Structure 1
């Protein structure tokens, strides 16, 4: 009876926190529509919004698309990071673990140099090469003859990441310094300044489907993180389910970063914080991580575009905050271990 009561209490507590996160996400999204440098720096509520055509245009065509993209990007990066960590039973992996980020970066940089630089071509190329990196990692893992499946996948991911990083270096070397190289550099720092409704409409349905599929499979993640014999014993097909989740997480990630550029640490840190807040059960922690990732990226983007006269690339903010948070998490774990 005590264990049942404790479980029900934890469920109520988790539902309450998830509800609070949903409310916070909605409130911040509405509030940050009025955050920026117009009509004045910070958060402002113009009294004459109905007659201020410039303010209406800024809200509808600049800030609203950025907010939607920030929410989508934060949600999919965090959900994908949680998925990768559970599938590989390793809390130190993220969506770029199998060379996905490096492949996407190479694809985007390649089009910036040899193509006409259109956002559509950059988006397609980044997605194609991100998926290519995943498939290449999977193929090499099948060919390797050292260690178990997860170890072989880790080793193949390291090799593929190195290959695409080297190829990216070659592309940057031949890029025109005054234009293409600058575009590549800014893209790799991450940012939402170039987003528009056309890009949002292009990726939003697919990214939302990817998030929903990951959430639909969340109860399986607990079992897929165990040994394959255990997963088979309860009627799962671990190889098939892992491939589905890896593909879905990779497609959502590559589509997102094809527009936003490289945004690191979201998929690494948010799952850690979600597990600390909700526990290790992915049925609750995964939705929590998804909401926390969306809120975190929304906050970073708003700070980046509002704090200074020059916009701070969002990738720099997420890397700085993520690294500090990572140090704190590891320090607390070390203290707990000593205690």
Structure 2
């Protein structure tokens, strides 16, 4: 049985382009289905017609209520979920490559904890949702700038120092979050902070998409453009240099791009863990370790996975489940399996 399974994976890996095309088709299918699902169902044919009606005049077969729900709630949520899943998976794959460690994730350098501190501080000050998102993004970027500054000035193994600096900065911001939760108003602010920290797509709006579009677009295009260079980094700095790749500079560029994407996404959705850790492993098992194929596969798989999880979060119960809880239910068992598998090997 195991041999048959291995043969199937070998066949997929030998045709990675076909696998990527299949992942793209699956993502589009899941997105269309997601647009039909909800308390007020919309037929798939009406979904297509509603979209086309904004470009070409179309005979109306849907109600005005369905159109309002579609454009005001469902479409922004699906688009934002796709962007977040794609970004976190791409960032995770990038970090695993540049640090030559399959167990790192986008919040490895303190970006998520920095964003959490910024959002919690804004909530404590009773700021608007826009200010909260901007504050989260700013502190996420600050955390990584601090890590890179420490890495640039300290002596020793650059990768090890970066890792330790990330742990230190994460710990500091985590302590800040704990203090804010301690002094926050339990009847209002603390509940809002707790809900934000669990991550959710509930309040997705076109304003959120506009806020994250530029950082996500720049980060995605940037990582996609340098994906072949990431292959050199996985072999070590000396080997990368022989291939004409400036490893330290490329590592900094990759960290900035990946962090920018992560910070933008976390700033509007809250902390959504495990996507950047788990999905690159699944993509690697499907198309191999070549970043020319791994990067697009991770992006497509991350977007599809998060969209499926979000559908479960909003439909499985009478009240919506924070999406960060569900991703942890999937990610934590996989992480334990990954550790035990490596130990057994």
TM-score past 0.5 threshold = yes
Shift in Å, 1:245: 1.0
Shift in Å, 1:120: 1.3
Residues in 2 aligned to 1:72 and 1:178: alpha-carbon distance in whole angstroms: 33
User: Do structure 1's residue 304 and structure 2's residue 304 form an aligned pair?
Assistant: no
Shift in Å, 1:45: 5.7
> What runs of 5+ residues in structure 2 fail to find an aligned partner?
1-10, 48-59
Residues 282, 176 of structure 1: alpha-carbon distance in 2 compared, 3 angstrom cutoff: same
Residues in 2 aligned to 1:300 and 1:13: alpha-carbon distance in whole angstroms: 28
Shift in Å, 1:55: 1.7
Corresponding residue number in structure 2 for 1:38: 40
Q: Is the contact made by 2:109 and 2:167 (CA closer than 8 Å) also made in structure 1?
A: yes
CA deviations on 1:151-176 (whole Å, 9 max, x unpaired) are 11111111111111011111111111
Q: Is the contact made by 2:12 and 2:286 (CA closer than 8 Å) also made in structure 1?
A: no
Shift in Å, 1:237: 1.6
Match of 1:314 among 304, 311, 323: 323
Q: Is the contact made by 1:141 and 1:153 (CA closer than 8 Å) also made in structure 2?
A: yes
Shift in Å, 1:64: 0.7
Shift in Å, 1:213: 0.8
Q: Is the contact made by 1:141 and 1:155 (CA closer than 8 Å) also made in structure 2?
A: no
User: Do structure 1's residue 77 and structure 2's residue 79 form an aligned pair?
Assistant: no
Residues 19, 47 of structure 1: alpha-carbon distance in 2 compared, 3 angstrom cutoff: closer
Residues in 2 aligned to 1:51 and 1:20: alpha-carbon distance in whole angstroms: 31
Shift in Å, 1:226: 2.4
Residues 47, 98 of structure 1: alpha-carbon distance in 2 compared, 3 angstrom cutoff: closer
Residues in 1 aligned to 2:341 and 2:151: alpha-carbon distance in whole angstroms: 35
CA deviations on 1:30-49 (whole Å, 9 max, x unpaired) are 1111111225xxx8669898
Corresponding residue number in structure 1 for 2:108: 97
> Normalising to structure 2: TM-score of the pair?
0.89
Residues 19, 85 of structure 1: alpha-carbon distance in 2 compared, 3 angstrom cutoff: same
User: What SS does the corresponding residue of 2:15 show, helix, strand or coil?
Assistant: helix
Match of 1:228 among 233, 237, 258: 237
Corresponding residue number in structure 1 for 2:56: none
Corresponding residue number in structure 1 for 2:121: 110
CA deviations on 1:161-219 (whole Å, 9 max, x unpaired) are 11110111111111111111111100000001111112212221331221111011100
User: Do structure 1's residue 275 and structure 2's residue 288 form an aligned pair?
Assistant: no
Shift in Å, 1:54: 1.6
Corresponding residue number in structure 2 for 1:119: 129
Q: Is the contact made by 1:79 and 1:286 (CA closer than 8 Å) also made in structure 2?
A: yes
Matching of residues 137-286 of structure 1 within 5 Å: 137-145=147-155, 147-286=156-295
> What runs of 5+ residues in structure 1 fail to find an aligned partner?
1-8
Shift in Å, 1:332: 4.7
Corresponding residue number in structure 1 for 2:16: 14
Residues in 2 aligned to 1:202 and 1:98: alpha-carbon distance in whole angstroms: 23
